[in-house]
Every structure is written in structure tokens, then in C-alpha cells.
Structure 1
Amino acid sequence: MSEKLIQLRQELAENPYVTFDSDGKGKSRVFDVEWDFHALNQSKKSISFGHVDEKFRQDIQSYLYGMMQWQKKKSNSRSHVAVNSLIRNRTELKSLATRWGKSEFSLLSSEREWKKCAKTLHGFGSKNTCKNLATVINALNKSGLVTRYVHKREYIKWVNPNAAEGQAIAFPEAIHVSILKTVIEFVETYHPYRHQISEAMEKLYTYQDEMLNAELKALGMSILDRRQMLTLTGRISRRVMQWPERKAIPNFSFDRRGRWLGTLLRMCFICVGLFSAARREELLSMNKDSYDDSLAAVPKVSGFSTKGNKGEKIYTTWNTAPIAKLALELAFDATQAARRYSLERLDDGYQNGQLTKDQYNSKQQDLESAFISSDIPYDRGALINKASLKYTIEGAGDALNMKEFSITATTEDVEEFDLLNPDRAGTLEVGGGLPRLSPHDLRRSFVVFMVKNRLGNALTVKYQLKHRNINMSNWYANYSELARTNQLLMDAQLMSEFEEAIESSAVDAWDEIYNVSDTLSGAEGERIAQNKAERLAQGEEIVMSRSELLALVRSGDKSIVLLPTGGYCTNRNCERLCSLMDIVEAPCDHKVVTDKAAKRLSRERDNLIASFRAINDMGDYANELILDARKKKIQSIEPTLVKHSIPFNSFNDDIKAVWS
């Protein structure tokens, strides 16, 4: 047994505190069924071990505690990973114990026991599932609790080839537009009614409570049984159906469980999600004050992000559209009655000692969201004991897949879906609806729609989705370029217009070379100039007509490419990187520089000189290589300016800070 493990066992003998309140007092002990993390003010407030088999529970709690202590010791802030990550670790350890049949994870250090365990893991799940399981074992290794380390070549053997796996789905464009249209119409329809909705719900809560209290008093009871409650709620529903508010608000429905309000909240949630690509918890942190269009041309929404920051909240912004303002106002104002009702019961619960200060503060913060729970139970205790008072948008992957969207996929939708989501090909059928619709699907669909329609690139995506790695942004945009290309290729008229535009541009370039520019430089330019001079000497006014040039371009006899360095390249098979090679290698044999291109080069040279001098004035040794390359680039342009009779002052500035 390792020294770390011996030390852990000694600590656990005292059943130490694993969580603490905001005053630093111990809150939950290691072997409690639930660990209370309210004081950390993260999106996840607790970890429950109630569903873990009792024969595994204490071992899982012990090793999870051991990892947390190691993480705190290694962290500068003396903190462990986010509660959400701890929950994932608990889940992985539970899965491992259930499959293996044991939970004394130190046994994994034994080669014999590891072989037995690994054998039980064959067919465990998808590649990501197996990778996550290996990751938690490796976390135990880092913590010094086991010596086992799982490499990819090992966990890849556990993969079940039939296990479903894949990234979030991207909507076919027609379905995407249909969903956008539905949520926008819903928001615009109900936004004017938002205060009426809240007033109607407040009237309902008050009436229902009065009826319940009257029934309890009449029966001389403190609580109704299930049958009595059903009878009472049925009677209340029949009376409420006749209220004028029900007809004053289109398709409105009174419901204490909040089913109609739930539809409203999901519509608003999808609306803000599709116009911001924020994550689920980020959206749930927003309220009607989150929208701002006062400081920039593009409006923004603000909220809290915890991703990649050990669960700590960071206030950040996302670009959005004006409809997000209406959606957030509708969601917040329509649930104001539920918010007030819940706050009153929270205050009572806190005053009566049913809630700790941290729990009270946490639930108050939940109610600051535009998206709060629309389910208001009669039982006060049931309300204040909810894990969260925010609207629940989780669970199944189709949590947002509502009948209100009336999606009926066409053959074109299915083809585009399979192209954008090859790992889910076949799950969308003609005449059917989306196989799922989750908050993460909104994010990926936002990205694909934006990139496919050239509304942004990977850097835009990186900013909007708050990715730390641009590779993740590219992964989200998977197949969008392919879909756009496929869409273009199928449009014969559009492709014909492209070809005509390309041919016209090529003819313009050749016309500039042969008939417009007085001087040509570059190896190929000088050859053309010599031939041009000979033909002009013979009395030809037009060296080559546009019709002749067009015929040569269409036949493939003439090819031309605009160079980033200025001028043109006439070699169709060129593989040089001219912006670099013109400085370090002999000039290209196929290059042509016209008078117009030379003037562009002159302007570029002026900008390079200004940039060189600004950097040079910093006197930083680290910039020496940059300045040296820039100086060579400036000087490489000068011979071209001489040939085109463009005046300039020779550049020969010294680099001020040079490594000795």
C-alpha cells in the first residue's frame, strides 16, 4: 500500500469534513450521503451518493475525497476541480465499480487484478465513454492512490462498435430557418402580454392557496391525501377555465405545474440560444437586464460562464440580435408572479431555519434568472427544498424538441442532415422530425449556419462560443464548408455565373498586361514587354484584343493568379510561397508586375517602413528577427519601383536593438 493511501486511510478514520460553508465551518463529511457545495456558488450545488450501491459507496467517497485533497494541494488557490467535474468522477467510479464488481481501486495497481478488471470493460461503451473512464483512473494515478495508468491502446479495446457517439447535431438550413421563424413569431406574439400573463398566474396562485386552506379547514386536516388533492384540483381547474384571462391571452392555459409557462420559457431559451450560441448554464444566468445595445453597433447579451475555470463564474458577453431583448423580457416578466411567490417562501424558510444562509443566497440567485422554475408546488417545503429554482432544461437529448415546431423533414433536409452529421446519418427520416434537440445542438447549428453562409470564420466562432482552442471551433464547424460547396455545385446557374466572373477577371488582368500598362517588370513581364515592343514597332495599336484573350483563357492556354506580393503569376502549376520566397530565393520566372501593381507595392512599402520604425523605436531585442525580415521585404520592393519610375527614398535604417 502506498504512503499516500496509508495517509488517506488515517484521515478517513475521523470521517473529516469535505465541504464547508461560506464562513469556513464544516458542512458535509466524507461519508454523508450528500455533499453540500452551496458555499462555492457554482452551477452544481451538491453531489448525491444516494443512488450508489452501499457496498461501493464509502470506497467511492474515499477515493473522490483523496483526489480532491491532492487537487487542493497542487492548486495555487487551494481549490479542487469544479463540482460538475467531481460529479463526473463520481459517475465514472460508480460505473467502474459496477462493471468490475469491486471498489477498492488500489487493487488496480496489481497486474493480475487489472487484467480481470479490463476484461469486464470490453464492450463498455463509445470511444468517449471509455476515454472518460480511463481519465478517472489516470486521475487516481496522478493523486498517488494507484500506480495504474491507462493508455489509449488499452482503453480503445473497451469500445463497443455499436455504441452511439457523435457531436451535437447541426440542423439542415430549412429546418433551422423554420425553428427560428417559430420562436421569433412566438416571442413577438406574447411579448406584449408578458405582464398580463404574470398577473393571471398570480391570481391563480392566490386562488388555489385560498381554496386549499378552506378545504383543509373544512376537513379539519393539515394535509390532504392524494385522492382528496385530485378532487380539489379538478374543482379548481373547472372554475379557472371560465376566467376571462384565459381568452384575453392567445392560447393561454392556467397550470400550477407550469406546463404552458414551460413552453414559453423554452421558446425564449431557444430564441436567445440560436442568436448567441451560449451554453445552457450561460443562458440560464441571463435576465432581462443582460441585453445591451448602447455601446456598439452589434447588440450583446451578458451572463456568467464557468467553463474551464474550475467552476468559478466569469462575467462575459456574446454578440446577439435585437430579438434576444424581447425574449429575455418575455421570459422574465411572464414569470414574475412565480418569482415573487418563491421568494416569499424562501424568506419564510430561512427565517424558520429550514434553509442555511448559503442555501438561501443560492436560491435567491437562481430567481434572478429570466428562466426560473414554472412548477410551483402547493407544499412549501417541496418548493424550498428544490435543488435549483431555475427552469430545468436537461435530461434527454430532445428536451427542447417541442411539437410546436411541427418539423416535417423533406428529402433535401435528410440529405443535408446526413452531410452535416455523418455520424448520425439515417436518424432523420423523410416526413419525420429532428431525432433530438438539446441546448448544445443550438450551439453547433449556430456555428454551421454562420460558417456555411460566410457570416463568420473560426475566429468568430472561437469568440462567440468562448472556446480556448481554435481547433474546437473548427470541430464545431465540421462539414459546413462541404455543405456550402455541395449546395453551390448543385446550382448550375450560380456556377455558370462564377465561371463567367472568373473568366472576366482573368481577361481584365491580361488586358491590363498587354494593352494598358506602359511598363512591365518581373521575368515573365519583361518577356511580354519585349514581345509587345516588337509588335508595336510593326504598327499594331492593340497587341491582343479582349476576344482573343477570352478565347485563350477558355482554352486553358493562358492562366493567371493575383499574387499577395503584388502583380501576377502566369504559371498554373506554381507551388511557391511568393510572399516568402521572393525575399530568400531568386525571383519567380513567371511573375508579371504592371504599373498598377507597382503602385500597390509602393503603398505597401510605405506601410512596412512606418511599421518597421514603430517597432524599432521600442528597442526590444525580441523583435530583431521580425525587423530583419521586414527590412529585407522593404528593400526587395525597391528594384520594381525603379523599373516603373516610381520615386522613393532608399531605405537603409539600422536595427536599434541587436543581440551581440
Structure 2
Amino acid sequence: MSEQLIQLRQELAENPYVTFDSDGNGVSRVLDVEWDFHALNQNKKIIFFGRIAEKYRLDIQSYLYALMQWQKKNSSSGSHAPVNSLIGSKSQLNILATRWGKSEFSLLSSEREWKKCTQTLHGVGNKGTCKNLASVINAMLKAGLVSRYVYKRDYIQWAQPDAGNGQAIAFPEAIHVSILKTVVEFVETYHPYRHQISAAMEKLYTYQDEMFNAKLKELGVSALSHMQMNSLRNRMSRITSQWPERKAIPNFSFHRSGVWLGTLLRMCFICVGLFSAARKEELLSMNKESYDDSLAAVPKVSGVSTKGNKGERICMTWNTAPIAKLALELAFDATQAARRYSLKRLANGYQNGLLTKDKYDAKRQDLESAFVSSDIPYDSEALINKTSLKFHIYRADDGFNMKEFNINATTEDVEEFDLLNPERAGSLKVGGGLPKLSPHDLRRSFVVFMVKNRLGNILTVKYQLKHRNINMSNWYANYSELARTSQLLMDTQLMSEFNEAIETSAVDAWDEIYNVSDTLSGAEGERIAQNKAERLAQGEEIVMSRSELLALVRSGDKSIVLLPTGGYCTNRNCERLCSLMDIVEAPCEHKVITDKAGKRLSRERDNLIASFRAINDMGDYANELILDARKKKIVSIEPTLVKHSIPFDSFNDDIKAIWS
């Protein structure tokens, strides 16, 4: 047994504190079913072990505690990993234990036990899941808890073949636009009613509390049975359905559990998400003060992020659209009654010792969000004991209430979906809806829509999504360029216009060569000039008409490319880099330089001279090679200028700083 394991066993014998309050007092012990991290003020505040099988729970808690102690010891700030990461490690340890059938993870050092464990891990999930399982084992190695390192070649074998890479989906453009239209119309419709909605809900809470308390008093009980509660709810529902507020607000209905308000909050959340691409927790941190258009032409929303910052809260901003202002105002103002109701009960709970100061402060911070819980229980203790008072914006079973969007995919939608999401090809059916709709799908769809329609590039994506690595931004933009290209290729009218424009440009170039330019240089240009002189000597006024040139271009007999170095190349299979090779090799045999191209070369030469002299004046030896190449380029242009009778001053500057 390693020294670290012996020390761990000794520490655990005393069941030490693992979490502390903001004053440094112990809160949760290692073997408690719940670890309370409220004092850290991170997005995740609780680690709950109650759903882990009892035979594994104590070992998982012990090893997680050991990882935290190692992290604190080896961190420059003396802190452990963010709570969200610890929750992930807990889950990974639980997967290992339930698959393997054991939770004494030090046994993984044994080849025999490792073989047994890995045999149970085949097909455990996608590559990401397997990588995370390997990471927690490698973390235990660093902490001295096991002597086992898992390489990629090992964990990649556990992946389920058809599990995909777990990437969020990108919406086909027509569906994306349809969702945008739905949420914008919803926000614009209900924004004028936001204060009326809150007033109506406040009236409902007050009335229902009075009726509930009266019923308790009437029956002389402290709680109602399930049947009694249902009877009371039905009675109150019949009465409130006749209230004038029900008709004054379009399609409005009263629900203490927050059903109608939940739809409103989801619509507002999706609206801000589609116009900012912020993450779920970042969006949930926003309120109506988050929007700002006073300092820049492009409005912004601000929110709190903990991603990539060790769980610490930092303020960030995202570019957005004016509709985000209305969405945040609607979400915040419509839930003001729920916010006031919750604040009152929190204050009572804190005064009566039902809440610690850290929990009280954390729940008050939750209520600063525009997206507060719209489910108001009758029992005050049930409300104050909620893990979070923010609205549970997304549930896997209802996928953002996708029925609200009435999506009916067309054949074109399905084809585009399969192109954008090849690992999910076939999951969107004609006439059906999206296979899922999560907060991260909003982010990826934002990126694909933006890149596909050239509203921004990968650097724009990196800024907007707050990525530290541009490779992640590229991953989010996967297949967007392919979709745009495919869309262009399918537009026959547009492609026809492209082809026509290309043909016209080619004819213009050949017309300039045969009928406009007085002088032609370059190897191919000189051959054409000689042929042209012979034909003119025979009395021809126009060497070649535009219609003849067009026929030759369309047949493929003539091909031409505009060179960045000036002039044209007539070799359709050319692989030369003319700007470099014209200096170090024999001139191209297929180049044509017209009078117009000669003038462009003259201007380029002037710019090169100005650049040469500016660099040369620095007197830096490191620039010698640059200056030498630039000088050769300047000199190489001069014979062309002579042939086209373009005046110039000879260039004889010496390089000032030369290595000896």
C-alpha cells in the first residue's frame, strides 16, 4: 500500500471536514451524503452522493476527498478543482465501480484487476466518456492512489462504435429561421404585457395562500392529503379561470407550478441564446440590466462565466441584437412576483435559522437572474430548501418544449441536417421535428449560421463563444463551409451566372491581348504579337472577334488566368509560383503581359522600391535576405517596362547592412 493510501486511511478514520463556510468553519464531512460548497459561490453548490449504491459510496467519497487534497496541495492558489469538475469525477468513479463491481480503486494497479475492469468498460459510451474515465484514473495516479496510467490507445478501445462524438447539432437554415421567427414574435407579443403578467401571478399567489391556510385551519391539520390538495386545486382553478386577467393577456393561464411562465422563460432564453451564443449558465446569470447599447454601435449583453476560470465567477460580454433587450425585460419583469415571493420566504427562513448565511446569500444571488424558478410550492421550507432558485430551463424529456415550434422538416431540411451533422445522419425525418434541442445546440447553430452566411469568421466565433482554443471554434463550425458550397452548387441559376461572368472575364482578357494592347511581352505574348503582326500585314483590322473568342473559351481551346504578379498565364495546368520562380528560374513560357499589365508592374515596382528603402534604412543585418529578394524582384521587372516603353529610373541601391 502506498504512503498516500496509508495517510488517507488515517485521515478518514476521523471523518474530516471536506467543505467549509465563508468564515472557515467546517460544514460537510467526507462521509456525509451531501457536500455543501455554497461558500465558494460557484454555479454548482452541492455534490450529492445519495444515488450511489451504498457498497460503493464510502470508497468513492474517500477517493474524491483524496483527489481534492492533492489538488489543493499542488495548486498555486491552494484550491481544489471547480465543484462542477468534482461532480464529473464522482460520476466517473461511480461508472468505474458499477461496471467493475468494486470500488477499492487502488486495486487497479494490479494487472489482473485492471484486465477485469477494462473488459467491463467496452461499449461504455462515446470517446468523450472514455477519455473522462481515463482522466480520473490518471488523476489518481498523480495523487499516488494508483500506479496505473491509461493511454489513448487503451481507452479508445472502450468506445461504443456508433456512439458518435457527442457534438451538438446544427439546425438546417430553414428550421433555424423558423425558430428565430417564433421566439421573436413571442417576445414582441408579450413584452407589453410583462407587468400585467407579474401582477396577475402575485394576485394568484396571495389568493391561493389564503385558500390553502383557510383549508388547513378548517380541517385542523398541518398538511393536506393528496386527495384534499387535488380537490382544493380544482376548486381554485375553476375560480381563477374566470378572472379578467385570463382574457386580458393573450393565451394566458394561471399555474402556481409555473407551466405558462415556464414557456415564457424558455422562449426568452432561446431568444437571447440564438442572438448571443452564450452558454446555459451564462444566460441564466443575465437580467434586464445586462443589455447595453450605449458604448458601441453593436449592442452587447453581459453575464457571469466560470468556464475555464477554476470555477471563479468573471464578467463577460457578447455581441447581440436589440431583441435581446426585450427578451430579458420580459423574462425579468414577468417573474417579479415570484421573485418577491421567494425573497420574503428566504428572509423568514434566514431569520428563523433555517438557512446559513452562505445559502441565504447564494439564493438571493439566484433571484437576481431574469430566469427565476416559476414553481412556487405552498410549503415555505420546500422553497428555501431548493438546490437553486433559478429556472430549470432545460429538461431532456421535453427538449425546450419543441412542440411550441411546430417543426415539420422538409426533404431539403433533412439533406442539410445530414450534411451538417453526419454523425447523426438519419435522425431527422421528413415531416418530423428535431431529434433534440438543447442549450448547446443553440450555440453550434449560431456558429454554423454565421459562418455559412459569411456574417463572421472563425476569429469572430472564438470571441463570441469565449473559446481559448481556435480549434474548438473550428469544431463548432464543422461542415458550415461545406453546406454553403453545396447550397451554391444546387442553385443552378446562380452557378449559371458565375459561369457567364467567368466566360466574360476570359473573353475580356483575350480581347485585350488580341485587339487592344499595342505591345505584348512575355514568351507567349511575343509569339501572339508576331502572329498578330503577320495577320495585320495581310490587311486584317480585327485579329479576332469577341464571338470567336467566346467560342474558343467555351470549347476549352483557350484558357487564361490573371496572375498576381501582373499579366496572364495561358497554361491551364500550370503549377509554377510565378512571383518567386521568375526571379530564380527561366521566365514562364506561357506568360502574356499587356500594356495595362505593364503599368500595373510599374506601380508594383515603385511600391517595392519604397518598401526596400524603408527597411534598408533600419540597418538591421536580419533583413539582408528580405532586401536581397526584393532587389532582385525590382530589377526583374525593368526589362518588361523597357519593352512597353514605360519610363523609369534605374534602381542601383546597395544593401546597407550586410553580414561579413
Matching residue's letter, 2:459: L
Distance 1:5 1:96 in 2: 19
Q: Is the 8 A contact 2:616 2:627 kept in 1?
A: no
Secondary structure of the 2:389 match is coil
Aligned counterparts of 1:214 and 1:424: Cα–Cα separation in 2: 55
Q: Which residue of 1 aligns with 2:288?
A: 288
Q: Measure the CA separation in 2 of the matches of 1:109 and 1:614.
A: 66
Q: Which residue of 1 aligns with 2:637?
A: 640
Please tell me the root mean square deviation across aligned C-alpha atoms, in Å: 2.9
Deviation at 1:80, TM superposition (A): 2.4
Please list the CA deviations of residues 526-563 of structure 1 after superposition, one character each: whole Å capped at 9, or x if unmatched. 55455556656666554443223222221222222334
The one-letter code of the counterpart of 1:291 is Y
Match of 2:145 in 1: 145
User: Which residue identity lines up with residue 205 of structure 2 in the other structure?
Assistant: Y
Partner of 2:23 in structure 1?
A: 23
The question of 1:330 aligning with 2:342 is answered no
Partners of 2:119 and 2:571 in 1: CA distance? 60
Separation in structure 1 between the aligned mates of residue 156 and residue 471 of structure 2, nearest angstrom: 23
Structure 2 counterpart of 1:279: 279
8 Å Cα contact 2:609/2:634 also seen in 1: no
1:354-503, aligned counterparts within 5 Å? 354-396=354-396, 398-503=398-503
Q: Work out the CA distance in 1 between the residues paired with 2:659 and 2:392.
A: 61
For the pair 1:13 / 2:13, whether they are aligned, the reply is yes
Structure 1 residue matching 2:316: 3-state secondary structure: strand
Partners in 2 of 1:65 and 1:620 — Cα distance? 59
Q: Write the distance in 2 (CA, Å) between the matches of 1:208 and 1:235.
A: 11
Cα distance in 1, alignment partners of residues 46 and 612 from structure 2: 57
**Distance change in 2, residues 1:45/1:232 (3 Å):** same
Is this contact kept in 2: 1:284–1:390, CA < 8 A?
yes
Instruction: Give 5+ residue unaligned stretches, structure 2.
Output: none
C-alpha offsets along residues 599-636 of structure 1, whole Å, 9 cap, x if unaligned? Answer: 55566666677777888899999xx46x8437634751
8 Å Cα contact 1:397/1:438 also seen in 2:
no
Corresponding residue for 2:46? 46
Q: 1:611 to 1:382 in 2, by over 3 A?
A: farther
Deviations 1:266-297 (A, max 9, x none): 11111111112211112112222222223333
1:208 corresponds to = 208
Does structure 2 retain, via aligned residues, the 8 Å contact 1:303–1:316?
yes
What's the offset of the Cα at 1:567? 4.0
TM-score, structure 1 as length reference = 0.91
Letter in 1 for 2:483: A
Which residue does the alignment assign to 2:66?
A: 66
Structure 1 residues 12-38: Cα deviation after superposition (integer angstroms, max 9, x where no partner): 333333222223333322222112222
Q: Distance in 2 between matches of 1:506 and 1:148?
A: 66
Look up the equivalent residue of 1:57 and give its one-letter code.
R
**Cα pair distance change 1:107/1:526, threshold 3 Å:** farther
In structure 2, relative to structure 1, the CA distance for the partners of 1:199 and 1:588 (3 Å cut) is farther
Contact 2:331 2:371 in 1 (8 A): yes
Could you report, residue by residue, the CA deviation over 1:504-531 in whole angstroms, capped at 9, with x for unpaired residues?
A: 1222233334444455555544554555
The count of residues paired between Structure 1 and Structure 2 equals: 656
Describe the SS at the equivalent of 1:123.
Answer: coil
Structure 2 CA distance for aligned equivalents of residues 471 and 246 of structure 1: 51
1:90 and 1:649 map into 2 onto residues whose CA distance is 76
Q: Deviations over 1:221-254 (max 9, x none)?
A: 3333332222222222111111111101100011
- Taking the TM superposition and a 5 Å limit, the aligned residue runs for 1:192-271 are 192-271=192-271
SS class of match (1:442)? helix
Query: Are the aligned partners of 1:583 and 1:633 in contact in 2 as well (CA < 8 Å)?
Result: no
SS at match of 2:456: coil
- 1-side partners of 2:226 and 2:67: how far apart? 45
> Which deviates further from its counterpart, 562-571 or 245-254?
562-571
Kindly indicate whether the alpha-carbon contact (under 8 Å) linking 2:22 and 2:39 is maintained by their aligned counterparts in 1.
Answer: yes
Give the AA of the match of 1:80.
H
User: Any residues of structure 2 matched to 1:498-517 within 5 Å, and which?
Assistant: 498-517=498-517
Query: Offset of 1:89 from its aligned partner?
Result: 0.9
CA deviation map 1:328-356 (0-9, x unaligned): 11111111111121122222222222222
Say which one has the larger Rg.
Answer: 2
Q: Which residue of structure 2 aligns with residue 315 of structure 1?
A: 315
Distance 1:607 1:196, change over 3 A: farther
Describe the superposition over 1:133-174 as per-residue Cα deviations: whole angstroms up to 9, x where unpaired.
Answer: 122212222222211111222223323335465421121222
Please give the residue correspondences for 1:101-116 in structure 2 after superposition, counting only pairs within 5 Å. 101-116=101-116
Partner of 1:2: 2
- Rounded Cα–Cα distance in structure 2 between residues aligned with 1:654 and 1:32: 77
Q: Is the 8 A contact 2:560 2:569 kept in 1?
A: yes
CA contact (8 A) 2:56 2:94 kept: yes
